[in-house]
C-alpha cells in the first residue's frame, strides 16, 4: 500500500468540492468515494470532534495546493527527473552563452571596436 501512495500528492480539488475541495482531494488521494470522506467528516463533527475537524479542515484549506488545471484534464505532471533535466539543459545553455560573451569581451576585436567608438 505504501508503494501505491508514494507517487501521489495530496491536493485540494475545488472543482469537485462543496466548499474548498479538501474532502475531494483526500478521497482522490486515498482512492475512496468522496461521499465516504464527507460522511466521515460529518460523523466526526457530530460525535464530539467538531472543533478538531473544523480546525483540520481550515488548516488543510490553506496548506494544500489546488489541483493544477493540466492534472484535472488527465495530463500527467512531469516527474522530478524530467524537470531536473530541463533545468540542467537551460543552465548549460546559459553558461555556454556567458562563456561566449566572456570570450568576445576579452578578445582583441572587442578592444579594437571599443577604441574606435571612443574616437
Give the tens place of pLDDT for each residue, 14-68. Answer: 777 777 788 888 888 888 888 888 888 888 888 888 888 888 888 888 888 777 7
What region does 31 belong to: left with phi over 0, alpha with psi -120 to 50, or beta?
left
In whole angstroms, give the CA distance from residue 55 to residue 105: 60
pTM: 0.51
* Residue 90 banded pLDDT, cuts 50, 70, 90: very high
Amino acid at each position: 500500500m505504501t508503494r501505491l501512495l508514494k507517487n501521489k500528492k495530496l491536493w485540494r480539488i475545488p472543482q469537485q468540492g462543496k466548499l474548498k475541495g479538501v474532502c475531494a482531494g483526500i478521497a482522490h488521494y486515498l482512492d475512496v468515494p468522496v461521499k465516504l470522506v464527507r460522511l466521515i467528516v460529518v460523523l466526526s463533527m457530530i460525535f464530539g470532534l467538531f472543533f478538531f475537524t473544523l480546525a483540520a479542515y481550515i488548516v488543510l484549506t490553506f496548506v494544500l495546493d489546488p489541483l493544477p488545471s493540466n492534472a484535472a484534464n488527465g495530463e500527467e505532471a512531469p516527474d522530478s527527473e524530467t524537470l531536473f533535466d530541463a533545468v540542467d539543459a537551460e543552465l548549460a545553455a546559459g553558461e555556454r552563452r556567458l562563456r561566449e560573451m566572456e570570450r568576445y569581451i576579452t578578445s582583441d576585436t572587442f578592444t579594437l571596436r571599443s577604441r574606435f567608438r571612443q574616437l
